[in-house]
């Protein structure tokens, strides 16, 4: 203050005084000082940056960005406004602009390890993992003791399928910083993905303690919701994890500073002789070569156009595959919004007057849940992409079924449960894979190194879904069934040696465990029938894989538990009409049923024959019937909204007079 009194034109003193006042919590006075500094020197980069920082803390993002841009315009040697502007760009999904900012920081200081890590993080979120890895490697070369760089390098390795390198980098990060909750949790997930079960129970206890501590402290849990669905943790804890991630999405949404949206009026679309249509929007990053599109490819064009107008909003770029082309051609409206920021997408959805908006991602890769947090539509629904609760106050409904999400478990979901008839899990085989119905299989066991004369148990699930308890059961089954083998996939390949070692430790010869490579979709379905019986993983069921093998005519054994992801395969089995023969209620019954079917060829053959016979008639594979029921669900949601009621759970009936189909 003395410097300012002595010389009122002492510009730096105003800036320094502003910093001191801000540190003392006197923010309004700090703003006055920074503004006085700018009166004297309009292009003072530090004062501009400091004002930007204050507005950033106040969540006034556009104002903060304008100050950072002004600072960048008047200097070429200051990193902080570039770093901070990059954070804003990244939060808004403008990854290319964020990368440009970090690149400029590195021009100023090529040894800025933090900027390398930040640019690597942005590359990774942008899907450019190879470039992310290069940035992280450069960062650990410059600063070998930077735990965060090792941790992020590990995550990039994990994302690109280099599990062993990921494990090594996670362990290095923990050596440098033993109390690093995110790394502890990510290491556990990576170890599970390759069936490394050493200290598994201890690690799960440690991770559960970390999650509970973080939730108590209102921190974002280090275990992601998508990982939690496959963990043996309390379903209510999984709900709390999802809730924290939903709040984080709301925070991201708030940074765009949008006013609340005005929604379409709550008027029945078919009231008083009107011939309106319900406007339904689907948001997904998986319109392309992805299991979601393999399963739902026909759905978007199958909605009844007399009653429903469909809009698809694609969060990912066109991958040029038949799946993308087909959905694009068959959906009434298909909009590629991949290059748009989330606020622009939300505005477009609202301007399209969408009445029911469906989130096909949930907490999966490529999601932009902040769009839903902005609430551009009056009714928002979670379906298909994420087999669990979103924990989001802005998601009204979860489309599921009575077996997968029984009413007695409603307390583990934040959404109101909508029970579709039969099975909630749709598929497209009747339209896309009818050649599988041919009695002649083009593949032979010898094509895959499978024994011609042995009984083949199979599980084609990703290896992370396995756990020691189910593997114990599988080994018991193989030991009890003479001349039998277990067929698994290299999913990933790095799990193979560990699984064979686990088998040997349980008295099963490693050559009784046969691994093959993951096949292309069509081949994968066709070759499934080379097996005799599919063994499901209880902790996280076969979902897409379950529909694949049932369509191939391969029976399964499945043990439902409590959480959604543990009950999907049971629902698939029930919708074939043969659930009683494939669903069990205990580990002992699982083992005994598998042995009984394997040692009673006539009984297994009868089940296989029945399964093959019902494929064209059972509800599980009747896509058109399923879409009609989904439309009924959407109309029911809208009618509840029009009556002024809050969202409420309901069961869809196929003969309900409330829907246009049934009038």
Model pLDDT, residue 40 = 86
Q: What is the mean pLDDT of the chain?
A: 94
Model pLDDT, residue 14 = 86
Flag the least confident range among 12-21, 97-106, 299-308, 495-504: 12-21
- Band of the pLDDT at 440, cuts 50, 70, 90? confident
pLDDT in tens, 273-320: 677 899 999 999 999 999 999 999 999 999 999 999 999 999 999 999
C-alpha to C-alpha distance for 579 and 302, rounded to whole angstroms: 28
Terminal CA-to-CA distance of the chain, rounded, Å?
80
DSSP 440: S
Model pLDDT, residue 662 = 44
Flag the least confident range among 26-30, 185-189, 287-291, 372-376: 26-30
Q: Phi-psi bin for 373: left (phi > 0), alpha (psi -120 to 50), beta?
A: alpha
Helix/strand/coil for 330: helix
Flag the least confident range among 46-55, 102-111, 175-184, 437-446: 437-446
Model pLDDT, residue 414 = 98
Model pLDDT, residue 152 = 98
Model pLDDT, residue 357 = 98
C-alpha to C-alpha distance for 304 and 625, rounded to whole angstroms: 11
Mean predicted confidence (pLDDT) in 140-148 = 98
- Band of the pLDDT at 27, cuts 50, 70, 90? confident
Query: What's the order of all strands across the beta sheet hosting 356-359?
Result: 333-336, 308-314, 278-284, 356-359, 379-382, 397-401, 416-420, 650-651
**Per-residue H/E/C for 284-304:** ECCCCCCHHHHHHCCHHHHCC
Flag the least confident range among 390-404, 437-451, 578-592: 437-451
Rg (CA), the chain: 28
Mean predicted confidence (pLDDT) in 144-159 = 97
- Band of the pLDDT at 59, cuts 50, 70, 90? confident
Q: Which residue has the higher pLDDT, 331 or 272?
A: 331
Q: Per the structure block, which two tokens stand in for 47?
A: 């004062």
Provide the percentage of residues in the chain whose pLDDT is more than 90.
86
C-alpha to C-alpha distance for 111 and 146, rounded to whole angstroms: 13
Model pLDDT, residue 91 = 84
Domains of the chain: 179-252 (1.25.40.10), 270-421 (3.40.50.11380), 437-621 (3.40.50.2000)
Model pLDDT, residue 1 = 45
CB 480 within 8 A of CB 512: no
pLDDT at 618 over 80: yes
C-alpha to C-alpha distance for 652 and 438, rounded to whole angstroms: 34
Q: Per the structure block, which two tokens stand in for 523?
A: 């081949």
pLDDT in tens, 622-636: 999 999 999 999 999
Mean predicted confidence (pLDDT) in 570-597 = 98
Provide the percentage of residues in the chain whose pLDDT is more than 70.
97
Helix/strand/coil for 359: strand
pLDDT in tens, 209-245: 999 999 999 999 999 999 999 999 999 999 999 999 9
CB 560 within 8 A of CB 567: yes
pLDDT in tens, 378-427: 999 999 999 999 999 999 999 999 999 999 999 999 999 999 999 999 99
Count of all residues that appear for the chain in the document: 663
Q: How many CA atoms lie within 13 A of 589 on its CB side?
A: 12
Q: Which residue has the higher pLDDT, 17 or 462?
A: 462
**Per-residue H/E/C for 62-121:** HHHHHHHHHHHHHCCCCCHHHHHHHHHHHHCCCHHHHHHHHHHHHHHCCCCHHHHHHHHH
- Band of the pLDDT at 4, cuts 50, 70, 90? very low
- Band of the pLDDT at 477, cuts 50, 70, 90? very high
Q: Per the structure block, which two tokens stand in for 127?
A: 């899907």
pLDDT in tens, 252-280: 999 888 999 999 999 998 766 677 899 99
For residue 623, give every residue at least 6 positions away whose Cβ sits within 8 Å of its Cβ, in sequence order, or none.
298, 299, 302, 426, 427, 428, 430, 431
pLDDT at 3 over 60: no
Residue with the two structure tokens 């200081």: 109
Mean predicted confidence (pLDDT) in 106-134 = 95
Bridge partners of residue 459, in order along the sequence:
488
Q: How far is CA 525 from CA 520, 529, 574, 616, in A?
A: 9, 8, 20, 16
Mean predicted confidence (pLDDT) in 55-78 = 91
């Amino acid at each position: 203050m003395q410097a300012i009194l002595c010389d009122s034109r002492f510009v730096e003193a105003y800036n320094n005084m502003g910093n001191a006042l801000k540190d003392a919590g006197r923010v309004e006075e700090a703003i006055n000082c920074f503004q006085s500094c700018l009166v004297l020197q309009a292009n003072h980069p530090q004062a501009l940056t400091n004002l930007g920082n204050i507005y950033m803390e106040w969540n006034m993002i556009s104002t903060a960005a304008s100050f950072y841009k002004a600072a960048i315009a008047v200097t070429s040697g200051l990193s902080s406004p570039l770093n901070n502007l990059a954070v804003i760009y990244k939060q808004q999904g403008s990854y290319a602009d964020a990368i440009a900012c970090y690149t400029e920081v590195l021009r100023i200081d090529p040894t800025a390890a933090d900027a390398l890590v930040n640019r690597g993080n942005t590359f990774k979120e942008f899907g450019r993992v190879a470039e992310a890895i290069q940035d992280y490697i450069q960062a650990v070369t410059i600063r070998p003791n930077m735990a965060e760089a090792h941790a992020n390098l590990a995550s990039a390795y994990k994302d690109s399928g280099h599990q062993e390198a990921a494990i090594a980098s996670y362990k290095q990060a923990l050596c440098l910083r033993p109390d690093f909750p995110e790394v502890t949790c990510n290491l556990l997930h990576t170890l599970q993905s390759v069936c490394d079960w050493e200290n598994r129970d201890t690690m799960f206890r440690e991770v559960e303690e970390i999650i509970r501590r973080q939730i108590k402290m209102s921190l974002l849990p280090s275990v992601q919701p998508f990982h939690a669905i496959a963990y043996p943790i309390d379903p209510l804890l999984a709900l709390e994890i999802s809730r924290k991630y939903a709040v984080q999405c709301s925070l991201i949404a708030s940074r765009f500073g949008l006013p609340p949206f005005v929604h379409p009026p709550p008027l029945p679309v078919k009231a008083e002789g009107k011939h309106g249509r319900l406007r339904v929007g689907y948001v997904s990053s998986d319109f392309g070569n992805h299991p979601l599109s393999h399963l739902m490819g026909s759905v978007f064009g199958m909605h009844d156009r007399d009653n429903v107008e469909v809009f698809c909003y694609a969060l990912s770029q066109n991958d040029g595959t038949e799946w993308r082309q087909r959905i694009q051609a068959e959906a009434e409206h298909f909009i590629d919004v991949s290059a748009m920021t989330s606020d622009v997408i939300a505005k477009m959805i609202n301007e399209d007057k969408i009445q029911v908006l469906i989130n096909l991602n949930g907490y999966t890769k490529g999601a932009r849940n902040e769009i839903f947090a902005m609430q551009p539509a009056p009714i928002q629904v979670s379906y298909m992409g994420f087999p669990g609760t979103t924990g989001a106050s802005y998601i009204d409904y979860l489309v599921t079924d009575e077996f997968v999400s029984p009413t007695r478990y409603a307390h583990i979901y934040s959404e109101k449960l909508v029970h579709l008839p039969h099975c909630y899990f749709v598929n497209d085989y009747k339209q896309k894979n009818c050649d599988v119905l041919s009695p002649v299989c083009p593949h032979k066991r010898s094509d895959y190194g499978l024994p011609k004369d042995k009984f083949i148990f199979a599980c084609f699930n990703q290896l992370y879904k396995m756990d020691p308890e189910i593997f114990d059961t599988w080994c018991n089954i193989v030991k009890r069934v003479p001349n039998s083998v277990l067929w698994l996939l290299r999913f990933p390949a790095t799990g193979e040696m560990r699984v064979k070692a686990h088998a040997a430790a349980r008295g099963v010869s490693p050559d009784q465990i046969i691994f093959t490579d993951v096949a292309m979709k069509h081949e994968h379905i066709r070759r499934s029938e080379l097996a005799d019986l599919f063994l499901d993983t209880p902790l996280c069921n076969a979902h897409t894989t379950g529909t694949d093998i049932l369509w191939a005519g391969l029976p399964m054994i499945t043990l439902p538990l409590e959480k959604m992801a543990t009950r999907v395969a049971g629902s698939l089995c029930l919708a074939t009409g043969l659930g009683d023969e494939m669903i069990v209620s205990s580990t002992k019954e699982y083992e005994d049923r598998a042995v009984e079917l394997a040692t009673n060829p006539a009984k297994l053959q009868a089940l296989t024959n029945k399964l093959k016979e019902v494929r064209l008639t059972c509800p599980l594979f009747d896509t058109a019937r399923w879409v009609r029921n989904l439309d009924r669900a959407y109309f029911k949601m809208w009618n509840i909204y029009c009556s002024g009621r809050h969202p409420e759970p309901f069961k869809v009936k196929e003969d309900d007079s409330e829907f246009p189909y049934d009038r």
